[in-house]
Structure 1
């Protein structure tokens, strides 16, 4: 008489070896604000508004419609609040980039901080438009698995080309060190090698 065989257990997917997060480099690659030329569009818009309002004030004055001078003076200042707000928005947007993550602080009145871990980044791109080349700016785009904001643009940061190369290397190091597993539908995807594991109940 044969002995009863123990029930077979279903295989359970295991994360790849070394998938536990390890402390990455804490080196600060950049900390501060972007160059003001990155907000050139906002500055030009409100400067144009000021010039148009000033031209209207001159026209009204030439027509001698009896409009008080203080009102004409206010027309010259109509774009100043917009210029001031653009400046405050620019200077209140701060970046801190390390070998582990990118932190972005926003807000003139209230404050909010967004953080993107570098091991979540899938690709790092560097682009320059014609205007960027003229102004000495560059755009670094981090394409990540973040659900709320998968593309993070870093525009107008100083030493942008060198920063791009450092970020590219830091992303590779972070992914090699951490080797996290991303959840895709009902599968687990090894973010390092792309191997999938069916989730078993």
Structure 2
């Protein structure tokens, strides 16, 4: 479709830019990266291996016939594997959908809850990426808003987070201008 030359209705001068496009664009959709849980992941793996090893060690150290029976080995193995999977479960229990108008956060494994934060509600955003996160290519964006259900939102484990942060920062300004939102500091 060809862009039409638009004019200011008062002055008759041509307007410098075209009208805002209302199509929603997805900037990011998905769960946090598992590599973002690497620090706590090693701890969960260690705990899981200890839980698996306890019944085995008990059986080895106990006298013949008085050691744990087969179901104790099985229970230790199942519980240990579940503990080892905690970091993966944590990452799959949350999903983000970040668009040019809103941020949706979907939480839960069995039951799901979705919270939506409109970008025009956002007061401020910040970016955090420690040394290990830089090496792993992940980071965290904090969103501060006047949204009643989610005044502070932590979007963690994002791959290549800096370009997303920059896009989000610019889009928040654009959406506020589009809606005519004016920030007033009182005090």
TM category (shorter chain) comes to 0.7 to 0.9
Aligned to 1:40: 38
What residue number does 1:98 align with?
99
Unaligned 5+ segments in structure 1 are 1-21, 181-189, 197-201
Rg (Cα) greater in structure: 1
**C-alpha distance in 2, partners of 1:77/1:61?**
17
Shift of 1:195: 7.3
* CA shift digits 1:33-65 (9 cap, x unpaired): 111122335533431222212342343233233
Is 2:118 the counterpart of 1:117? yes
TM-aligned CA deviation for residue 73 of structure 1: 4.5
Question: After the TM superposition, which residues 26-175 of structure 1 pair with which residues of structure 2 at under 5 Å, given as runs?
Answer: 26-41=24-39, 43-65=41-63, 66-70=66-70, 71-84=72-85, 86-175=87-176
Name the structure, 1 or 2, with higher relative contact order (CA <8 Å, separation 6+).
1
Report which stretch shifted further, 156-165 or 66-75.
Answer: 66-75
The answer as to whether partners of 1:100 and 1:117 remain within 8 angstroms in 2 is yes
Moved more, 86-95 or 117-126: 86-95
| More displaced 10-residue stretch of structure 1: 33-42 or 106-115 | 33-42
| Alpha-carbon RMSD | 2.5
Q: Secondary structure at the match of 1:156?
A: strand
Q: 1:88 & 1:55 partners in 2: Cα distance?
A: 22
d(CA) in 1 for partners of 2:112, 2:38 = 23
Matched-pair contact (CA < 8 Å) for 1:53–1:75: yes
**Structure 1 length normalisation: TM-score?**
0.70
1:144 CA drift (Å): 0.9
User: Secondary structure of the equivalent of 1:105?
Assistant: strand
Following superposition, the deviation at residue 85 of structure 1 comes to: 5.2
Q: Compare 145-154 and 27-36 and name the one that shifted more.
A: 145-154
Q: Is the 8 A contact 2:47 2:84 kept in 1?
A: no
Distance in 1 between residues matched to 2:185 and 2:87, nearest whole Å: 47
Counting matched residue pairs gives 164
1:80–1:52 Cα change, 3 Å:
same
Cα distance in 1, alignment partners of residues 22 and 151 from structure 2: 22
Using the TM superposition, give the Cα deviation of residue 106 of structure 1 relative to its aligned residue in structure 2, in angstroms: 0.9
Per-residue deviation at 1:176? 1.0
Matched-pair contact (CA < 8 Å) for 1:24–1:174? no
